[in-house]
Chains A and B, each alone.
Chain A
């Protein structure tokens, strides 16, 4: 909070502050691997080939790397997304029919800043604007499934091709799943108060009328709030990743989770449902498993399942959607994720 409260006072030097922070970030990122190499192998004389050294090196190096990546990516994305809002999305979607509407809603779902705790008022607002239920569902599916933060992490760790595949696949799942649920008559299973509640007054668009300084401040706050929320997951993920990195033999997982094993993808999706974490939180685990031979399609399916199908999210949606629709929602999205997993394993091998 200390840093955050200082941001408004340094009005004139906003550019200087952002430039200095960026330079420090680049310096720290460059230094990270070199510093741990020097410290562990050089100063402390640990054997670079030993299991313990490799685990310890992976842990410290990855903690710093992931923290730096998250800080940079969350900041940039939050500032960029402060120009979008649910209110603006609603205006863009109003009067759109199914099909085109689903495609737009899934795209807007990925770039609109949205907290699932706003799912209920947003649902009411969309219905009031005449947005079809299936189109609204495309938005609600895409929002957690296609996370720019996850895409940014994938880009930094695995390259832009994987990041792009992830975004396109997640978007397609949201478009198709929303469309299918709309065709199945999803309105029937929407709680009736949603249709009875009216939106009074002029909606205040949070993306309009902010100074650049306020947007930068939002970026700083968001970095703090996400890191505070996910650090335990991150440490556990990196810890497990470190053990895998140091002690599990190369290609150990290739035997159980190879692309030929057709059960691996559905098993990964099923495993992801009870696990609830931010996409960024499981990235170290994904990285370590990939290095030991688990195919990318299986890993992406696992990651998508962790972020898009979670119990807390379903509890929130339960306020607006009746149980049969929640069931269908899970079934359609899970089927889409499994299909994407198979497809990627096919393309990427």
Chain B
């Protein structure tokens, strides 16, 4: 599974990253987490409000920080 966190490194992006890390650990899933900070690349996903969460190249959340349980649900669905 490939997970990407879209955002220039603001406070919300860091909170999202922490939640994603926690969710992956809880699931024991094999996933690579990648941070995308380049604005062109972020816009390339159609994301205008950061942070964005991309799972296997599909944008699943944008403009808010989902809770650990929501991220867990999103990850197990993928």
Contact = CB atoms under 8 A, between A and B. Distances in A.
A and B: interacting chains: yes
Interface of A: 4-5, 8, 85-87, 90, 113-115, 117-118, 120-122, 124-125, 193, 197-204, 206, 214, 217-218, 221, 225, 229, 319
Given A121-B47, A124-B39, A204 B67 contact: no
B48 A203 contact: yes
A80 to B, nearest CB: 15
Contacts of B7: 117
Given A117-B12, A118-B49, A221-B65, 20 more contacts: A4-B67, A5-B67, A8-B69, A85-B49, A85-B63, A86-B63, A117-B10, A121-B43, A197-B40, A197-B43, A199-B43, A201-B59, A203-B47, A204-B47, A204-B52, A204-B62, A204-B63, A206-B64, A225-B12, A229-B11
B69 to A, nearest CB: 6
B10 A201 contact: no
Given A124-B39, A125-B43, A204-B59, A117 B48 contact: no
A319 B39 contact: yes
B33 interface: no
B59 A121 contact: no
B68 interface: yes
Closest 7 CB pairs of A and B: A206-B63, A117-B10, A201-B46, A125-B48, A124-B43, A120-B39, A203-B46
B44 A87 contact: no
A5 B69 CA distance: 9
Contacts of B61: 204, 206
A202 B48 contact: no
Interface of B: 7-13, 15, 39-40, 42-50, 52, 59-65, 67-70
A206 B62 contact: yes
Nearest to A207: B63
Contacts of B39: 120-121, 124, 197, 319
B28 to A, nearest CB: 20
A88 B68 CA distance: 26
B41 to A, nearest CB: 9
B67 A86 contact: no
Main secondary structure of the interface of A (DSSP, over half): helix
A117 B44 contact: no
Contacts of A319: 39
A113 B8 CA distance: 17
A225 B46 contact: no
Contact of B50 (A90, A121, A193, A200): A121
Nearest to B9: A117
B48 A87 contact: yes
Contacts of B68: 5
17 contacts: A86-B63, A115-B10, A117-B9, A117-B50, A118-B63, A121-B42, A121-B49, A124-B39, A193-B40, A197-B39, A197-B43, A198-B43, A199-B43, A200-B44, A206-B64, A229-B11, A319-B39
A122 B49 contact: yes
Contacts of A117: 7-10, 12-13, 50
A115 B67 contact: no
Contacts of A5: 67-68
Nearest to B52: A204
Contacts of A217: 67
Contacts of B11: 225, 229
Nearest to A120: B39
A118 B69 CA distance: 25
A113 B48 CA distance: 12
Contacts of B52: 204
Contacts of A118: 48-50, 63
Contacts of A229: 11
B63 A113 contact: yes
A219 to B, nearest CB: 12
A86 B44 contact: no
Nearest to B58: A201
